[in-house]
Structure 1
Amino acid sequence: SYEARVFGCHSAMPTAVARRLCPHAVVVKPRGDRYSELSRRVFEIMESATPLIQPLSIDEAFLDVSGSVRLLGEGRAIAVKLRQQIKAETGLTASVGVATNKFLAKLASDLEKPDGLVVIEPERVREVLDPLPVSRIPGVGPAAEKRLHAIGVRTIGDLAKLPETVASSRLGSFGSHVWRLAQGEDDRPVTPDREAKSIGHERTFGADLEDPEEVRAVMLREAEDVARRLRRHGLHAKSVTVKIRFGDFKTITRAATLEQPTESTRELSAAAVELFDAWIGKEGFRPVRLIGVTASHLSRGGHSQPGLFDPPEASDKRAALDKAADAIAERFGKDAIRSARALRRPQDR
């Protein structure tokens, strides 16, 4: 925690050492499954703003939102919305840095942890960078810092005033890169790890849900959110999976392959309901602790093909309805428009 860091504790430190530094620390057992679950949810929220996400760790990522500005507003507005949504849906705080490149954005996000929003506008770059110690530049460790101190360079501003050739002579081939960062320049793009293989939503309840209609309604909202994300990213899904976890943490999954790849809310929701009802019909309903919907076997482009007995105009009408619903959800929030079947909500537990 940030409180423990005051005493010199840091991540990856042996527990025995941390206890010596901070004897009154409370050591809690790690919950890896819970951390992974929250990480997935946070990344799902980030994906609502842009598909261009470069993960750095379980709880950190770069986002390129340049293509979302017309729809969602400027960087600050997007950051405010993401922080609010993360807090509302996970209870977690989030520090966000907004800037024109990765170096500045990362630096900004570190300035007001654990719950801050810092925007570095182009005209403020020197104001923010100049007083910071040169060690705030990634890659400038103790050895490089010592070499720079030897020539009177202690701040990023000091380094920025040097000729690039001097930085290179002191730090070798890495010097030019460090010097450019000191200028506030960073041309590295946000590079997603790989093309998404699936898109999903899941929700864990504070207590078991004993009403199948409540569970079905949550599942339908998840299916609607999955379909909306597919359309936002220009993707179609050929498979749908429903995940169900019980109070004893036993988990089952049920999957179906669709006739045609689709991004249709109606088709994805129908597939999820069919899987859910088939489970109840075969095994009987049990109280549910978690329900999730995932679309997979993704492909890009095109439009959903109408079914054999489905007139093209009906398919076009549903696509238009989905588009209108997406516009409402983007402007007013995803819960501003829902199907009637998805409106039933679990009681607060």
Structure 2
Amino acid sequence: MDAFYASIEQRDHPELRGKPLVVGGPPEGRGVVATASYEARKFGVKSAMSSRQARQLCPEAIFVFPRFDVYRGVSAHLREIFSRYTDLIEPLSLDEAYLDVTEDKQGIGSALDIARMIKDAIRDELQLTASAGVSVNKFVAKIASDMQKPDGLTFIGPSRIEKFMETLPVEKFFGVGRVTATKMKNMGLHTGADLKKLTEAQLVQHFGKTGHFFYQIVRGLDDRRVQPNREIKSVGAEDTFAEDLDVLEDMYAELERLAEVVHARLYKRNLRGRTVTLKVKYHDFKQITRSQSFPVGVNEKETLFTVACQLLAAVDRQEKRVRLLGISVSNFGISDPDDPADQLTLF
């Protein structure tokens, strides 16, 4: 979807249309940009940027709080549109998904035609625009979907893939973040063609196991399947505070609130995890995590809260102020919460 949250706000509030809009927290505090309209993006505003920086880049920007209940409703409608054409749908987030249309339900026989029909349905039924990428595998289709935003449709056929990958900047490759991109450029690796000059052994030597993936993907090879029931790896919640916390009791109060949120999310999915992880980010942006694992799965609020407090108490805070706390649960097993054999005794 194109600027999903911002586009929904502009759809629902005509007075915001055509104006630089930021969906996220207020710039006066420690708000973060969830997304920005294309009018704001022209000034350099982008997701995950602090709202304060967004204000500096675009003083005329209008800030609105996210309405996630509305966004989830639109996402459910999107999923229904997708399901008219295929059952092989792998959601990546509320506004993005892979679709395998090898065997399309309506017998249309053309991935390009299906993409056009989906885009038309989104425009007609939701008054929103989407961009689609069509190709023979997930990686290339994903890259193609970003090439002609907004409202784009890009097809990269088999005969074009390898040449296309050679011209792709290294930062566009899956798994290449800011640090890896800098390392690559320092090695003189700027495009796919540069990466292609290295052997698989050389890529592994410099980039570890990911080097195997780079060797394949720069040649347009990606055999990952679209997974309609993609496994949930973890469930969690975190919060950045308006002011740094330096009193342990205040941190405990925040952990209790986060534990309640995580419990609700686990309960909704009928998940119980064997590993509880605490995340702490200090005022100087240094970040640590601490985990504790158990022989059985847990999802009770009291257990999550108690474990998180124990982990926090064991951390040497060195008089540092805390700007963010988070709790997450992983190592899942779906189980019956009424089964007495699966109850945890903490002490």
Q: Give, in angstroms, the shift of residue 30 of structure 1.
A: 2.6
Shift of 1:154: 0.8
Counterpart check, 1:169 vs 2:205: yes
Alignment of 1:87-126 (within 5 A): 87-126=123-162
* Structure 1 equivalent of residue 117 of structure 2: 81
Structure 2: stretches of 5+ with no match in the other structure: 1-36, 232-347
Alpha-carbon shift at residue 70 of structure 1 (Å): 7.5
Distance 1:109 1:16, change over 3 A: same
Quote how far apart the aligned CAs of 1:59 are.
0.5
CA distance in 1, matches of 2:105, 2:66: 38
From 62, 85, 90, the counterpart of 1:49: 85
If the length of structure 1 is used for normalisation, what is the TM-score?
A: 0.53
| Counterpart check, 1:138 vs 2:174 | yes
Within the candidate set 11, 24, 34, 2:70 is matched to: 34
Q: Deviations over 1:8-36 (max 9, x none)?
A: 22223332221121101122343222211
Q: Deviations over 1:197-254 (max 9, x none)?
A: xxxxxxxxxxxxxxxxxxxxxxxxxxxxxxxxxxxxxxxxxxxxxxxxxxxxxxxxxx
Q: How many residues align?
A: 195
Q: 1:156 aligns to what? A: 192
Give secondary structure in 2 for the equivalent of 1:35. helix
In the TM superposition, what whole-angstrom CA distance separates every residue of 1:155-208 from its partner, at most 9, and x where no partner exists? 01221232212211111111111121111111111001269xxxxxxxxxxxxx
More helix by share: 1
SS of the residue corresponding to residue 27 of structure 1 reads strand
| Structure 1 counterpart of 2:263 | none
Q: 1:70 to 1:29 in 2, by over 3 A?
A: closer
Which among 101, 111, 115 is matched to residue 65 of structure 1?
Answer: 101
TM-score by length of 2: 0.53
CA distance in 2, matches of 1:45, 1:100: 22
Instruction: Report SS of the residue matched to 2:195.
Output: helix
1:129 matched to 2:165: yes
**Partner Cα distance (1:69, 1:133) in 2:** 36
In structure 1, what residue type is equivalent to 2:224? R
The alpha carbon displacement at 1:150 in A equals 3.3
Tell me the amino acid that sits aligned with residue 123 of structure 1. S
**CA distance 1:186–1:146, shift in 2 (3 Å):** same
Do the aligned partners of 1:126 and 1:157 also contact (CA within 8 Å) in 2?
A: no
- 2:225 — aligned with what? 189
Alignment of 1:1-349 (within 5 A): 1-68=37-104, 71-193=107-229
Give me the CA root mean square deviation: 1.8
CA contact (8 A) 2:131 2:153 kept: yes
Runs of 4+ in 1 over 6 A off after TM superposition: none
CA contact (8 A) 1:87 1:93 kept: yes
CA distance, structure 2, for counterparts of residue 173 and residue 14 of structure 1: 33
Q: Structure 1: how far apart are the matches of 2:105 and 2:82?
A: 14
CA spacing shift, 1:69–1:157, aligned 2, 3 Å: farther
Aligned-partner Cα distance in 1 for 2:157–2:106:
19
Which digits, 9 at most, give the CA deviation of each residue in 1:78-100, with x for residues without a partner? 10111111111001101000011
- 1:343 counterpart residue number: none
In structure 1, the gaps of 5 or more residues are 196-349
Contact between 1:69 and 1:75, CA under 8 Å: does it hold in 2?
A: no
Q: Which moved more, 1:169-178 or 1:100-109?
A: 169-178
Distance of 1:151 and 1:47 partners within structure 2: 45
Matched residues, percent identical?
Answer: 44
Question: 1:74: Cα distance to partner?
Answer: 1.2
- How many angstroms apart in 2 are the aligned matches of 1:98 and 1:160? 24
Q: How far apart are 1:140 and its partner, in Å?
A: 1.1
Alignment check: 8 A CA contact 2:88 2:101 kept: yes
Relative distance call for 1:33 and 1:21 in structure 2 (3 A) is same
Structure with the bigger RCO (C-alpha within 8 Å, sep 6+) is 1
In the other structure, the counterpart of 1:271 is: none
